């Protein structure tokens, strides 16, 4: 395989310092050390990407000696020289608020302003700013226009500030005490100026209370290890691995963070295998809404490497695990909720998914090909053990729910269950290498031909018991685990922060942390220690990290991975936590 045909992750010499926050309607990127907001953005489904309003900074508070922190594991705040600033993005409105307290004068500044469109890479959008004051609502208004308004920002101050500048930048001043800015984004000026007024009518205390209740509701009930790590990962994933587009439609995406190198696009793997189980923990009503939208919008192109947010392929290439993600996510939702009413609503696109998978069936065996691996790279052999096991378990877990509907559904249930069993038997018969008692599960193989022993953290053989493919004491699986977690695996990294990587990211992987947590035992305890002690990506699991320093090396701002880690933490046992933390 020629290296030029791979698209490996860009390696970072030094990971960026950043503080993500926001809501489903709005993503914000702030500086973790000083009260500076770098950008505020929205999902634009019509533009198939993320539209960000930026400045140098977008918004900042004057002062020195600041130190930053986060309230409720999501709300940034800063304190310094007797002053405090808090940045708040309440749920349900495309707006945010900044409260500043301290001795005067209190000065807030920002600009000049511009627009950026993100989808993998980032590009500037040519737009001319128009600044105004609206006497009807009392809002100050910025419209970024081409032939029409592309994005609008409006703000109101409480109390009213001294406006020293509004265009091309922002300069506001209060005599001291306490001041709040209410800001809103919209597709045009009318929506922005009225939303800013709405925020001011609700007031800071109302917005803060609603936000805290919302955040607590998402993380309530968690009793597992590292509760702070769990809450931060879950809240980051909830707000940055999905969103509500400016057009009012739910979307799932790799990440809304500008620091993730392929943000602003849809992968079924990210949305359905990694993020969706965490969403089920946090918000089942939202999980139903999002799952239905993904089936209707994206399932017509099942298994494509990456897709535009509006649905069609963006980066072609069939991936079996991404196609299998649809029946597995549906099965997980039905297991969690028993909501059989969803099945008829998504059955037509699900039939299309299964039909596309059947196109990749071996001519004589119940095994299925893939073109790309879970790391999105070409495969050395077309049959991946993990991908076929994932498909088998997806079909097996979905079948009982079809059977509960009776009638014709029962016939489909029997068909899926039979195929799942046939895949499992074929994998054990054709896949194990070398054959016999001393064999292991390979990463990739050709029935009757060659095989590659190895693993990929993004689609790991370590997950087979968690998926239900085999018990953890299965002798073939135990030998596979020993090989993956040993120097026999060329991408097993030792060091202070050990883990497994792959050619796509030759460092210990954040996926390996989740895989180890789901595996249990000593590997889970090691993963808990890494999550507790390593700096990673501002505390979030990155795609990969340095085994010695623990700093992120690839894939920072990776929101869907954060969801996978949160989900894996929810399965960790109290025994594993006690041994990892020294607690008994």
What is the per-residue pLDDT across 350-382, written as a single tens digit (0 to 9) for each?
A: 999 999 999 999 999 999 999 999 999 999 999
Whether residue 464 lies inside any domain: the answer is yes
Indicate if 214 and 244 belong to the same structural domain: no
Average pLDDT, the chain: 95
Q: Are residues 324 and 444 in the same domain?
A: yes
Residue that finishes a domain, picked among 176, 201, 219: 219
- Which pLDDT score is estimated for 1? 37
Of the residues 166, 197, 219, the one at which a domain ends: 219
- Domain containing residue 426: 227-581
Residues 6+ apart with CB under 8 A from 179: 99, 100, 101, 106, 108, 157, 158, 159, 161
Within 10 angstroms of residue 338's Cβ, the number of other Cβ atoms is 10
Residue 203 sits in the same domain as residue 312: no
In 406-468, where do the E strands start and end?
444-445, 451-452
pLDDT tens-digit series, residues 322-337: 999 999 999 999 999 9
Q: Are residues 180 and 258 in the same domain?
A: no
Q: How does pLDDT run across 423-476, given as a tens digit for each residue? A: 999 999 999 999 877 899 999 999 999 999 999 999 999 999 999 999 999 999
Check: CB of residue 485 under 8 Å from CB of residue 537. Answer: no
Whether 331 is in a domain gets the answer yes
Helix axes 284-298, 320-337, angle to 10 degrees: 150
Q: What angle, rounded to 10 degrees, do the helices at 385-405 and 320-337 form?
A: 40
| pLDDT of 575 strictly over 60 | no
Secondary element (H or E) of residue 293: helix 284-298
Each residue's pLDDT tens digit, 503-531: 888 999 999 999 999 999 999 999 999 99
Residue 49: inside a domain: yes
216 CB burial (10 A radius; 0-12, 13-18, 19+): exposed
Looking at the domain assignment, is residue 393 inside a domain?
yes
Assess whether 559 and 416 both reside in one domain: yes
Give the H/E segment covering residue 279: helix 276-282
Residues 191 and 267 in one domain: no
Q: What is the CATH number of the domain that holds 362?
A: 1.50.10.10
Residue 522, domain member (yes or no): yes
Does residue 351 form part of some domain? Answer: yes
Please state whether the predicted TM-score (pTM) of the whole model is above 0.85.
Answer: yes
> Residue 240 has what pLDDT?
98
- The CA distance from 233 to 532, in Å, is 13
pLDDT value of residue 2: 41
Does residue 461 share a domain with residue 325? yes
Q: Is residue 7 part of a domain?
A: no
Statement to judge: residues 181 and 256 lie in one domain: no
- Of the candidates 188, 185, 198, 183, the one whose C-alpha atom is nearest the C-alpha of residue 88 is 183
Q: Where residue 572 falls among pLDDT bands split at 50, 70, 90?
A: confident
- For the stretch 77-102, pLDDT in tens is 999 989 999 999 999 999 999 999 99
Say yes or no: 185 and 261 in one domain: no
Share of the chain above pLDDT 90, in %: 94
- Residues near 446 by beta carbon (within 8 Å), at least 6 away in sequence: 381, 382, 383
For the cut 80, the answer to whether the pLDDT of residue 573 exceeds it is no
Same domain, 430 and 569: yes
Higher pLDDT, 550 or 582: 550
Residue 543 lies in a domain: yes
pLDDT per residue over 201-223, tens digit each? 999 999 999 999 999 999 999 99
Residues 45 and 175 in one domain: yes
């Amino acid at each position: 395989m020629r290296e030029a045909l791979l698209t490996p992750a860009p390696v970072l010499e030094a990971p960026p310092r950043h503080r993500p926050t926001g809501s489903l309607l709005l993503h914000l990127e702030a500086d973790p050390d000083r009260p500076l907001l770098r950008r505020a953005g929205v999902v634009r489904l019509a533009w198939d990407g993320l539209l960000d309003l930026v400045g140098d900074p977008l918004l900042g508070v004057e002062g020195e000696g600041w130190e930053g922190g986060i309230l409720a594991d999501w709300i940034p705040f800063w304190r310094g020289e007797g002053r405090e600033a808090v940045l708040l993005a309440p749920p349900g409105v495309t707006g945010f608020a900044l409260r500043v307290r301290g001795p005067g004068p209190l000065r807030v500044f920002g600009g000049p302003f511009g627009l950026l469109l993100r989808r993998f890479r980032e590009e500037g959008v040519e737009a001319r700013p128009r600044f105004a004051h609206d006497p009807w609502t009392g809002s100050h208004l910025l419209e970024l226009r081409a032939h029409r308004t592309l994005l609008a920002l409006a703000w109101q101050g409480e109390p009213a500030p001294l406006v020293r500048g509004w265009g091309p930048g922002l300069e506001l001043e209060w005599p001291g005490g306490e001041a709040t800015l209410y800001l809103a984004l919209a597709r045009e000026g009318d929506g922005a100026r009225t939303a800013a007024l709405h925020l001011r009518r609700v007031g800071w205390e109302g917005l803060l209370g609603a936000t805290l209740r919302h955040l607590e509701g998402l993380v309530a009930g968690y009793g597992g290890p590292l509760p702070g790590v769990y809450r931060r990962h879950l809240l980051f994933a909830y707000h940055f691995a999905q969103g509500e587009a400016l057009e009012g439609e739910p979307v799932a995406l790799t990440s809304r963070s500008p620091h993730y190198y392929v943000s602003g696009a849809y992968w079924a793997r990210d949305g359905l295998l990694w993020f969706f189980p965490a969403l089920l923990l946090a918000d089942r009503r939202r999980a139903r809404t999002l799952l239905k939208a993904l089936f209707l919008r994206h399932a017509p192109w099942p298994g494509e490497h990456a897709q535009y947010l509006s649905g069609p392929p963006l980066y072609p290439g069939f991936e079996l695990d991404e196609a299998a993600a649809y029946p597995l996510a549906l099965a997980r939702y039905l297991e969690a909720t028993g909501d059989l009413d969803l099945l008829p609503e998504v059955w037509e696109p699900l039939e299309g998914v299964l039909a596309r998978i059947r196109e990749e069936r071996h001519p004589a065996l119940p095994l299925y090909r893939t073109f790309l691996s879970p790391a999105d790279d070409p495969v050395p052999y077309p049959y991946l053990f993990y991908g076929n096991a994932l498909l088998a378990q997806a079909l097996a877990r979905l079948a009982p729910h079809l059977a509960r509907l009776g009638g014709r559904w029962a016939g489909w249930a029997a068909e899926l269950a039979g195929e799942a069993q046939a895949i499992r038997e074929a994998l054990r018969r054709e896949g194990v290498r070398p054959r016999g008692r001393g064999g292991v599960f390979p990463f990739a193989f050709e029935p009757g031909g060659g095989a590659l022993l190895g693993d990929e953290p993004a689609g790991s053989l370590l997950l087979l018991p968690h998926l239900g493919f085999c018990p953890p004491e299965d002798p073939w699986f135990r030998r596979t685990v020993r090989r993956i977690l040993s120097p026999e695996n060329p991408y097993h990294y030792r060091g202070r922060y050990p883990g497994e990587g792959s050619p796509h990211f030759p460092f210990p992987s954040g996926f390996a942390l989740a895989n180890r947590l789901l595996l249990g035992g000593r590997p889970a305890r090691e993963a808990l220690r890494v999550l507790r002690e390593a700096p990673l990506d501002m505390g979030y699991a990155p795609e990969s990290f340095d085994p010695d320093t623990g700093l992120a090396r690839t894939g920072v701002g990776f929101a869907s991975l954060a969801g996978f880690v949160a989900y894996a933490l929810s399965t960790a046992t109290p025994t594993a936590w006690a041994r990892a933390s020294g607690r008994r």
